[in-house]
Structures are given as C-alpha cells and as structure tokens.
Structure 1
Amino acid sequence: MHVLRYPGYGRGSFAPRRGRGGSQHGFTKRNEVTLDLVKHPLGELLTSFSNSDLQPKLSTLTDAASIKDCQYVASYNWVDADTPTIMVPGKPPLWSPLQQPRRLEEDSGLYFRDPNAARYPSYPTEPAVLALLEINPVFPTGEVDVFGCGSTMGNLLRFVRSVDKSFRFNVEAIGNTVFFVRKENDPRETIDGIRGYGHTFPEAYTTWETEVKRSESHQRLVQYDFGGFKCVVRFECDGYLPEKSNDKKGDSTKKGAQTGLDDLLEAFNNTAIKKGTPKLDGPLTVQSGGSPPPHHTIFDLKTRSGRFKKDIDMTDIYPALWLKQFPNFVVAYHDGAGTFHDIRVQDVKKDVQDWEKGNDAAIQRLAILIKKIVELARQDGKGLLEVYSPGVNRLEVRRQHGEGSHALPLELRVRWENGGDGGGPIVAIGDLSGSEGEYEDFSLADPHDSFSYDDSDDEIQDFTACSADSCGYCGKCTY
C-alpha cells in the first residue's frame, strides 16, 4: 500500500457536497433500518437460497471469481436547481486539502439514504441510463446483462459473505438486461443519528471546480465482466486526485485554488440549500458540462476518530473497493474535536487484489447468485421481481407486490430494448463533443495483470461512513 500523508495542506473550500467519511467501523445492527413490510408488502415467493445452495464447482472457481475488463462508460452530477437536473458527463470534486488544519463543525442537517431516489423518485435509475445514452447514443445495450448500483451489488456481496443485514431491491428484465433497482422504505428516507465529520470534511478538503459549480454529487458508471456477465454499475465518487492525472495537471490544480469571495459566498449558500429538501417538480433536465478525469485518479473517502491511535478497520472496506474498483482510498483521522492532523492518501490496488485472492469462494458464490437471479428474471413472464433477504443465510426472489414498479419509463424501456439509439435526453443544453475522455478506456491495470482496475458506487454502515456509495449512491452502508 502506497501512502501519502497530509498534515493538512492546500486551500480550503466550502464547496457543497454530500460527503462520506464518518466515525463508524463496519456494519452494525444499530445502523440497520427495519424494512417496512406493512407499507411495502412482499409478493409471491418464487424461490429462496442459502449460501449452501451457491457452492461453486471446482472447475469454475478460478474462471468466475474476478472482475475483468473494467472501464468507464458514463457519469453525471446532480445539480442544485429548481427542478431535478443532472449535468453530463459532470466531474467529481477536486482533492484540495487545507494549508493548515482547522477545526471543522460536526455534521448537521438532512441527508437522504438514496440521493437518486430522493431527487427523482419516479425512476431513480433513469438519470444513469440517460447519461449513458447521452455520452454514447449507440451504446450496445443488448450486450449488458446486469445494470446495478453499489447498493444492490453490495447487498448481494454481503449476503454471500454471511453478513447479517436485511435488504430488498426490485428486479426487471428489459431486453437482455436485468436491472437491479434499490428500494428503501421511502425514496426520501433520511438518515437518523448523523454524527462525526463525514460531510463537513469533504466540504472543506475537496472543491467543485468552476465548470461544475452548484453540483451536489458525482455519479459514475463503469462496465466490467464478472461471472460470465457484462455488468454496468453505478456508484457515487467522492473525488479525484490532481497529482495523479496527466491531463492538464497544472490547470486542474489552479482551478481548484481560484476561489474568490463570491465563490465562497455561493458555496455557503449552496450548502444551506443542500441540507434542505430537494425540489421534485418538473421533468428531469439534462445539461452538458464537466469532463471526467481518468479513473486512476478517483478516490473513496472515510473519516475516523484518531483519539485511540487505532487504524481504520478495512474488513468491510476492501469488499466495497473491490466491487467499485477504486484505486485510491483516503482516510482522515480527527482529534475528537474536528481537527484533522493525520490524513492518508493510499494507493490500494495491491491490497484489493490480495482481498480478492483471499475471498475467491465468496466471490464465486456471488457470481452464482447473480446468475440465478438473472435467469429467473429473464424467464419470468410478468417481468417485475424483487430480491428480499430477512437476514443472514436466506435470500428470496419474489414477484413484486401488486402492480409493481418499472425500472424505467416506457419510452426509455423501448429505447433500451432497441439498442439505445433513437432519441436524445429529455432536455439537452450545450454540446458534449468537447468533453475529454468520453470514449477512452480508463482501465488502470497492466494488460498482463489479471486484475483490471477502475472504479465502480455508495454501503454497510451509517451514511457518514459510506464509501458508496460511496453509490455513493447508498446512504447507509459501505457499498
């Protein structure tokens, strides 16, 4: 593991964003939300699995127990606006640490478990699909077997690792693709008991650059091969490292440092808005803007208390980094009062490779489980299913209760089935042709290395400890 230690240098920023970090270690039952089976009843049971049903054949163990050919395919930023608005391709916040450590305020305000659902509850997966088709209108949708997120894939990974956590998510086959759609008790469910500095730290140590001002989160999509399937996975990205980028390194750093009084005032205002309730009126608007940095610069972030001189427990973090294919991990230790003197920027590629090699049996079970779910979804005549796990060692596949809910609106379902072509975004502003790296393969791995590295989204613990997940994308776990 290559580690860079920052005692706190660079320029401060109050850029508004949904940070992660946090003070929890791993998943605890205290952090788990009870699934509301009264508000959302379960449908007809089709089949159930335990881990003993997922034992791999020795002949296929090595073949499926790895992620291969991972590459960036799309991204977008959620933007603070009067109606639901995304910016495509967007850009994650720039790592811009303080020149001198200063005391930060504890986290406060409202934070949603699922920002995609909170901002666009009708079809939380729609923004990701629109971003993908905006960047590449002829994207080969028929080749995609699984379209998931850090939360749904992370829940399955926890199950095969025998982590005791209940979860549920919707499943729908659209064309050849089986969509996994995260499901909370309520799309605007907030996280109780927020504490620590998992939000205020990234607000102070990362910067939304001028081209993506008023952004609130960066969502990225990668595609990789796993277990014989081609998967597209969405997740939330905490930021990127300028010193690891070969593209306009000086310009990026300079942009991050040029924040005047007006920008600071705007950032303070945006922070206050962000902690309020997202506006849901109107259709989804798609703007063009931003430029995705190379994936080898992307990082995941957590904060921890350093009072007890104990390093972060990586038990539940390595699985998330593997699933999301993050090459960098930032951990920041505070003194208990909000000042961060020990900040470590770590290259974790080798550590995640080692975790993969040491957990090949669980990873093989994950491949088998995904295969079973995909087959059930493709064979089912009604098409709307749900995965439900009440806890350790039992996973059920059911029909969705009642009429169920689709992953995408009808027009977009038809477009996906027809190969992606045949329409643009709901509202397009500007031109994406000037964005750099849209069609570049950002895979980090040496072509002779069996571990193809790229990042993948947002979660096992409370939201402040998210990497998601973060799905970033999730609110309350490390995936």
Structure 2
Amino acid sequence: MSRPYRSRYTARAAPTPTQDVTKDLQQAVKRFTPSTTTTGAIKISDVEAVASYSWLDEPSPTILVPDCPAVWIDDEPERVPADTGRMFVDQNSARMGASHSPLAPMFAAIQDLGKTEKLRGLDLVTDRNSLRKLLRWATRAGGLKDFRIDIEVARGTVLFTRTEEEDSEVFDGFRGFGQEYLKHATAPMPGSEMATGHHRIITMSLGGIQVMVRFTVDACTMGPDAEDEEEDGDEDEDEEDTLTAAFSSLTTNARQFPGLTIQHSASRTIVPQSTLIELKTRASHKALDWEETYPQLYLSQTPYLYLAKHDRGAFRPAEKYDVAGRDLRPYAEQAEVGMVQLRDALLQILGSAREEGEGVGLSLVCQGEDLALYRRKEGTGRAVGKDILAMFQFRKK
C-alpha cells in the first residue's frame, strides 16, 4: 500500500509520465519463453536486512536513514473518510525526478549505514514490484499487463530499474478507504512524523540467485528499540552504532548522490524482519485474492498481513494473518512452485543481460504475453548513473 501525498509536497515531484514501454528501443536481442516446469518448489532463504529509509515531505529529495515503519496501534479506527488527493505509484521515481536514478536512495541508504560490502556477490538488484511483474509473466497468472524494466550491468550484477506509465495518480472519484485507514491505524515513531513512505532493503537467495530487493512496508508491530539485538546480529558494531547515534538528526548531502539529502534517525538500528506488516482493506462483501497477494508477501518475506474489512468506511477489527501459518499453507505451496518458474525466467534474463556487457542500456519489455530484451538508444531510459555503478568496482571481472 502506497502512502498518499501530504500538503507540503511540492511541484518538483508532480506527476510526470515515464516513458512508454517501447520508447527509444532499438533491436530486440533476446526473446524469452516461460518455463514449462510444473514440478518442484523453491523456498526463499538466507534473508538478511541490509538498510531502510523513509522519504520525508521536504521541498527537495530527502530521506531519513534508517528509520522505522509506522507502528500498528491497538485502538483501531471504527470509521475513516474516503481517500482523496494524490497517491504515489513509484515514490522513488517521483521524488528523484527524471534526471536522477530511482535507485539512488536505495544505494545512498546502504552507503550511509556502512553496508556496501553487502553488494558483493549479488546477481540482481531490483524492486519487489519488478519481481511481481515477472512472476505474473512466468506463471501466466491473471492481471498481467504490459510493463518495462530498464536494465544495466555492473561487474556481473544486473540492476533492474522500475518504470511506470505515471509515477503518481490522482484519486478520480471514489477509490476506497485504504490510505485513510493506514493513517488512522498506525502511528509514526518520534522523528518520523513527516515520513511519506518507508522502504526496506534485504538480500536473499532465490533458488541460488543472490538477490537484493527493495520494497515498501506499511507498518510494524513495534519500534526499533523494542528488542535488544539488532537485525543482523553484528555484536562488534555496538560501539560504532553508539557513536553514529550521537550524530543522529544531522542533515548531510549523500556522498556520490547529487541532489539527495540524508537525515539520520535517532536509532541507527533496523526493525526486525519478524515485525513487518502488510495492511490491506476490502469491502466486507469482497474476498481477498490470495493468489495475487501471497506472492507479494513471499517475495519480501513479510510475516504478517492485516486485513481490515468495512461497510462503506465503517471498519471491523482487522483480521490478522500469519503468512507462515497453517491456514495459508496452500498459497505458500503455490507460491513456492511459482518461484521455480520465476527463477528460470531470471536465469534467462540475467544471462542475456550479461552477454550484452557493461555500459549498454537495456530494457526488458512485456507486451501482451511476449517478453523480450532490447537495446536502448544511447542516453535514453532510466540510466543508473556512474555514482551507483562505482559502488561495484570492488567486483572482479
């Protein structure tokens, strides 16, 4: 669920259409076919939290690092108004604008937290959204729409940049109650009152493919200081974290990332993965599409889903689901089979991108059910930029 705009959001990040899926493409270099594998299963493993950040509602691009998602409150709202205003589709792209990479805040947060070593050995860096689109294509699931993912290669690591038709959209007519419910059912941590969207970065193994994934988080069950141990368990970093926390709330320009400002949160720890919540709302007469929803949760290893049902904005207490629970096991098994097909698709795509080499702008385009890798005209598309590519220079060719 995306956060809505707030009133101080300036025209700099006004909704601007991104490129059409076929804009500035040259010849197709590879066409892909879905895997025919219908047996086996893949469990995502080796999940590790790397970094997190929240966008702040400032006139220029500013992120709060590491930050905490909004915290679920026990006093749930009984009634909320309908959603109005503007909603982000891709907040990273909207905030950074056309002249900067939407991946910049992700890498800036990783660098600021001293986690650049986590880039070693990666096969893929991506948003969860791109994996969901590819999963729909690979499994021929419903809801498949045309999409485009811009691609570059950095010392063997393939970087996916999400592209959308528009980075934000205005609520035109009635669009539900989800945004308002989210605001009323959660509370920001002190210092995060101006946050408009929380992002988390994890690494994981998807059938042997080493993936770094960025995704949004709606809420968590507790704040970052509720547990004594850190997410990554690095005990030898306690002294360094204490010193770093002494400089919290300072505002700095992100090294290597012009145009992006970093503010430091009071806590330099990341909330445990086990506390994350995905929040969804539905009219009481509408069922949740678990076949679409479960893979979303699985790809980010989000452990809880809270489903709030309503009758014209009058809400019942949220139904709370443990994603790993017995009741959802059939959907888990289906998702694990889908991971086999996604893994097979990614192996094809990564191999083809690496064959094209570094310094070549590529785009993965799905039209209808056809998926192909194209070269882009030089200087077009959502280029990653030299600042991000430089972070992979430790990789051996």
The interval holding the TM-score normalised by the smaller chain is 0.7 to 0.9
Q: 1:210 aligns with which of 182, 190, 193?
A: 190
Q: 1:47 aligns with which of 2, 19, 30?
A: 30
CA distance in 2, matches of 1:135, 1:296: 21
Deviations 1:181-202 (A, max 9, x none): 1012344565655611110001
Equivalent position of 1:159 in the other structure: 137
User: What number of residue pairs does the alignment pair up?
Assistant: 346
CA distance in 2, matches of 1:193, 1:168: 28
Q: 1:342 aligns with which of 317, 322, 325?
A: 317
1:328–1:348 Cα contact (<8 Å) kept: yes
Structure 2 unaligned blocks of 5 or more: 5-16, 229-257
Equivalent residues in 2 for 1:440-451, closer than 5 Å: none
1:237 aligns with 2:217: yes
Of 297-306 and 405-414, more deviation after overlay is shown by 405-414
| 2:67 maps to amino acid | G
2:147–2:367 Cα contact (<8 Å) kept: yes
CA distance in 2, matches of 1:124, 1:295: 24
Equivalent position of 1:84 in the other structure: 61
CA distance in 2, matches of 1:223, 1:389: 26
1:317 aligns with 2:293: yes
Equivalent position of 1:477 in the other structure: none
Equivalent position of 1:391 in the other structure: 368
Structure showing the higher strand proportion among its residues? 2
1:104 aligns with 2:89: no
CA distance in 1, matches of 2:171, 2:55: 19
Q: 2:126 aligns with which of 148, 151, 154?
A: 148
Equivalent residues in 2 for 1:77-476, closer than 5 Å: 77-98=54-75, 101-121=77-97, 122-163=100-141, 164-187=144-167, 195-242=175-222, 247=227, 283-289=259-265, 290=267, 291-306=269-284, 308=285, 311-336=287-312, 338-350=313-325, 354-381=330-357, 382-392=359-369, 394-405=370-381, 407-418=383-394
Which structure ranks higher in relative contact order (CA pairs < 8 Å, sequence separation ≥ 6)? 1
Question: Taking structure 2 as the reference length, what is the TM-score of the superposition?
Answer: 0.79
Percent identity between matched residues is 28
2:124–2:211 Cα contact (<8 Å) kept: yes
SS at match of 2:131: helix
Question: Taking structure 1 as the reference length, what is the TM-score of the superposition?
Answer: 0.67
CA distance in 1, matches of 2:220, 2:296: 17
SS at match of 1:321: helix
Deviations 1:136-169 (A, max 9, x none): 2442423111000111111011111213321111
Q: 1:70 aligns with which of 41, 47, 50?
A: 47
Deviations 1:247-292 (A, max 9, x none): 27xxxxxxxxxxxxxxxxxxxxxxxxxxxxxxxxx81001111442
SS at match of 1:195: coil
SS at match of 2:52: strand
CA distance in 2, matches of 1:404, 1:203: 38
CA distance in 2, matches of 1:223, 1:192: 37
Pair 1:244–1:417, CA change in 2 (3 A)? closer
CA distance in 1, matches of 2:316, 2:115: 47
| 1:292 maps to amino acid | I
Structure 1 unaligned blocks of 5 or more: 1-16, 20-32, 249-281, 420-479
CA distance in 1, matches of 2:217, 2:298: 14
